[in-house]
Amino acid sequence: MISGCASPVNAPVPTELADSTLAPTVEAAEETATPRPTQGPTATVWPPVFDLFSLRDIRELDSFVVTVNEKNTVNGQLTELTATIGYVKEPYGAYYLNEYYSGMDRTYAVDGRTYSVTGSGDWYLKTGTNDDIFYKVDIPAGNTEKLVDAQFAGQEEYQGIPAYHFVLEKTESYANTVLEGDFYLAQDGNYVLYSHWAETTTQGGFKQVYEVTESLSTINQLTEITLPPDLQDMKTAMDLPQELGLPLPPDSTLFGMIRYKFGIGIDDYTFNTPKTSIDEFLDYYRGLEPTEGWTVSHVGHVSIHKNDCEFSRECVIINKGSTQVILYYNGATIRAEFDWPHLFSPL
């Protein structure tokens, strides 16, 4: 069993491995390896053998930045995606940047909320953290699953970190498909530092090369992840219902918010609320006195409402100055639609 890690995309891979392929004595191996019993297994045999199931979660580190680059070339036409994920363990913070040919999606998990903006400018916000941020990283395997037959090539430093290097020479994984790649595993910590594999498929006039490179950097160097200045408006929008004192049934809590860049001008907020009947929900607002500037202007059906308030379900219209909100209860959650252009009206 050994330990592992990853390193940056396009980082140079050492090519002179002649000396490192000679098996040292047990004593030499013990002097070179850096045992750390509290963090993971250390090589006990020589040469080391890769064990996919012994890898450790890189989120045990204090912080890191990991990059995953995907290239898919079909008959000479390249499609490329690059995901960059940053992480700080304490105080918890993370970000995910997904770059593609037409733009970039961005997600930040900070201060107990997750803020996502698509390349087209749509907003998706929710309370709580989001482990989906890490799915491209393939924790803990570090995108090495296809390389389980790789052979030990040497004991080296990778970006200053003592590591084991494994290489999978070109091999036919199945008919018309050749797989090759390599990876570096940290001796201390048992996480993936760097992995790369390329799968080439040829059949007649068709050729596809699909390759994935994952690299870990900035290990234990980040101290804090914050929401970028150009996304501060998202935080302001998320705080708006509380700032305006939007009246909701007791124990209702904000869950999330959606804004479409090219939508109809409605901000949709979702609140978790204790389960009750539709009639009890409506009665709450029928009996609600004006509070914090809010007044209930209508309980019933709502004209041209996209989400069934027009025909199948009665809803609530509540106003504060020029702000109009449609409240829709589906038996489990409340959706508060901030109708800035006043598109909806009592029916």
Phi, psi of 44 (to 5 degrees): -115, -10
pLDDT at 218: 95
Q: Residues 6 or more apart from 292 whose CB is under 8 A from it?
A: 244, 245, 247, 320
The verdict on domain 19-217 having CATH code 2.50.20 is yes
Phi, psi of 232 (to 5 degrees): -65, -25
In order along its 347 residues, the chain shows pLDDT tens digits of 443 333 333 333 333 333 333 333 333 333 333 333 334 444 556 888 999 999 999 999 999 999 999 999 999 999 999 999 999 999 999 999 999 999 999 999 999 999 999 999 999 999 988 788 999 999 999 999 999 999 999 999 998 999 999 999 999 878 899 999 999 999 998 899 999 999 999 999 999 999 999 999 999 999 999 999 999 999 999 999 999 999 999 999 999 999 999 999 999 999 999 999 999 999 999 999 999 999 999 999 999 876 689 888 999 999 999 999 999 999 899 999 999 999 999 98
Dihedral sign computed on CA atoms, order 101, 135, 6, 118: positive
pLDDT at 199: 97
**Do strands 192-203 and 103-110 pair parallel, antiparallel, or not at all (unpaired)?**
unpaired
Q: pTM of the predicted model, to two decimals?
A: 0.82
pLDDT at 190: 85
156, 16 contact by CB (below 8 A): no
Q: What is the 3-state secondary structure (H, E, C) of the chain?
A: CCCCECCCCCCCCCCCCCHHHCCCCHHHHHHHCCCCCCCCCCCCCCCCCCCHHHCCCHHHCCEEEEEEEEEEEECCEEEEEEEEEEEECCCCEEEEEEEECCEEEEEEEECCEEEEECCCCCEEEEECCCHHHHHHHCCCCCCCHHHCCCEEEEEEEECCEEEEEEEEEEEEEECCEEEEEEEEEECCCCCEEEEEEEEEEEECCEEEEEEEEEEEECCCCCCCCCCCHHHHHHHHHHHHHHHCCCCCCCCCEEEEEEECCCCCCEEEEEEECCCCCHHHHHHHHHCCCCECCEEEEEEECECCCCCCCCCCCCEEEEEECCEEEEEEECCCEEEEEEECCCCCCEC
> What are the boundaries of each domain within the chain?
19-217, 229-339
211, 71 contact by CB (below 8 A): yes
Q: Which of 26, 142, 39 is nearest to 2 (CA)?
A: 39
